[in-house]
A and B are shown apart, each in its own frame.
Chain A
Amino acid sequence: MDENLVFNYTISGDDFTRAGEASSDVKNKLKMMGLDNNIIRKVAIAMYEGEINMVIHANGGTITVEISADNIRMILADTGPGIADIDKAMEQGYSTAPEEVRALGFGAGMGLPNMKKYSDHMEIDSTVGIGTTVTMDIHI
């Protein structure tokens, strides 16, 4: 286990029918690797929320999942609009999702709070007009 196991995904923007494919794929692979069910659950939920965020706000992006002996790191990078006020975005119920997205049942303002809740460590690096990179760690 000297080298990390790396899975790369490209998330297409504005395609809700495909949202969740990447997190579902990771979930299945982790199950095959016999990880603790609770860890798998945390990874699946945190990554799904992140994936949906990229579809709603950022017109897609990339997700890199790095698995080592004691950690799962998810790096979600997009070149979307960026987050103007990260503290505000972390508040439960706060959302900048457009009306048509909310009509689909998304944009409840739980995305980032849930990602933080289900990961052991989360960092957001965002610049308005450039994009956002969210790094989440879940310890094994």
Chain B
Amino acid sequence: MNKFIHSVQLDESACIGCINCIKYCPTQAIRVHNGKAKITPQFCIDCGRCLRYCPHHAKTAVYDSVDEIQEFTYTVALPAPSLYTQFNNLNNIDIVLNALLLMGFDDVFEVSAAAELVSEASRTYIQEHEADAPFISTACPTIVRLIRVKFPTLIPRLLPLKPPVEVAAEIARKRAIEKTGLKSEDIGIFFISPCPSKVTYVKSPLGIEKSEIDKVLAIKEVYPILLKHMTHDESKLKPLSMSGRIGIGWSNAGGESAGLITDNYLACDGIMSALRVLSDLEDEKFHGLKFVELNACNGGCVGGPLTVENPYVATAKSKQLHRDLPVARTHSDDSDDYKDLDYQWSSYVEYEPVFRLGKSFRESFEMMGLIEELTEQLPGLDCGSCGAPTCRALAEDIIRGDATKNDCIYAFHEYINTLSKDIFFLTQSLQLSGNHSSESMDLLEDYIYKLTTELDKKER
């Protein structure tokens, strides 16, 4: 399996080669070369920040199509709780769940119901392993991927439990097999997702070998279809929702922590803030914390790049929606289906040192020395014209062999200036001395050749 598979991709035809994305990427995974952006797969963590910031919409997320429902004999929809927060004046979750059935799914199982089970499992796990606290939430796959490439010492702090959507998929598949008698491959489990990061998770999960989810649909694709099927006539609704405040709350920043019923937690949202918190956590700047919840998106999952509503409006709506609900409506002793669930990860996340410079410490040491030297020579303006986000990043690219110093517009200007002056002085001395030896003519030709080829390269 490809360890660095991604949902976030570049639409080359829409990319004009501007430098917005390189500036916003939190892992400096994007470069613009030859007029097009290019995402380095090892560095990308699928946060989707470039999707939001690209003014030309040249970054896209790859996900499955609604038509794929037809490929299975029986399908179950797993709506993320953030889906419920997309609609105006929604006061009953069953309206959304019934609409999912009307649009073609055979059954639904709420991710928020599974989230209540995961909250329960998390409480037990943290209590039993208190000495190893604080634990870092693993519900956001982008955060897990960030830690995997940047924070090796924090890997043992990852809460080794499956995310709610995985638990939901396991329950849904088991129930569907029992109910229909169909083979597992004839049953399609469809997650309706707020983010591309979950698409990546399903294709290449961390913490487990294989996901039980078959397809991932984007909230923004399902949303207009659902609108057509939403009936507010309560007499026509099948009672389906099994989520309480804890389950729905998972869609907001701080919601997962609220489900742990502890005050010793830190909840942070937004990938840039998460980076700072992780760095501080690495330096042991916090004491007495039990849990650290990190969401890559501002506002939590409601801020996912595949949602339609403003995350803060969505948060306000979710508060309205769960105001009158019980704390939790799904408990591990409610059903036999929940009793045998195994919440724990089956495989551990390994550090991927993708940002390492050389193959050995000695090689990296030499390279770091050269990078320092080169960075000093660059203008330090971080203008991005070279296609790298900062002058230092360009220096790193040059030493890694992926760029040249003349990619810097200022270094290039200086180079051309020096060459032009050399040509000027040479021609002047030729004129004065009247010496037109083949040696001097060769030198002149060499200068002009360098000048034209370098200018030509820039032109391209």
Contact = CB atoms under 8 A, between A and B. Distances in A.
Interface of A: 1, 3, 5, 7, 20, 23-24, 27, 29, 31-35, 37-38, 40-41, 44-45, 48, 67, 69, 140
Given A32-B368, A44-B282, A45-B283, A1 B355 contact: no
B-side interface mostly = helix
A34 B360 CA distance: 7
B364 A34 contact: yes
B152 interface: yes
Contacts of A5: 365, 368-369, 372
A-side interface mostly = helix
Interface in B349-383: 351, 353, 355-358, 360-362, 364-366, 368-369, 372
A23 B152 CA distance: 17
B279 interface: yes
Q: Which of A7, A33, A40, A44 has the most CB of B within 10 A?
A: A33
A27 B365 contact: no
A35 B361 contact: yes
Contact of B355 (A32, A40, A67): A32
Interface of B: 150, 152-153, 279-280, 282-285, 351, 353, 355-358, 360-362, 364-366, 368-369, 372
22 contacts: A1-B366, A5-B365, A5-B368, A23-B283, A27-B279, A31-B355, A32-B355, A32-B356, A32-B357, A32-B364, A33-B364, A33-B368, A34-B360, A37-B351, A41-B153, A41-B282, A44-B282, A45-B283, A45-B284, A67-B365, A69-B365, A140-B361
A45 B281 CA distance: 11
B286 to A, nearest CB: 10
**9 A-B pairs closest in CB distance:** A33-B364, A34-B356, A37-B152, A34-B364, A37-B153, A32-B357, A44-B283, A48-B283, A5-B369
Contacts of B364: 32-34
B153 A1 contact: no
Contacts of B283: 20, 23-24, 27, 44-45, 48
Contacts of A67: 365
A41 B282 CA distance: 7
Contact of A33 (B152, B153, B282, B357): B357
A40 B85 CA distance: 43
Contacts of B356: 31-34
A23 B279 CA distance: 11
Contacts of B153: 37-38, 40-41
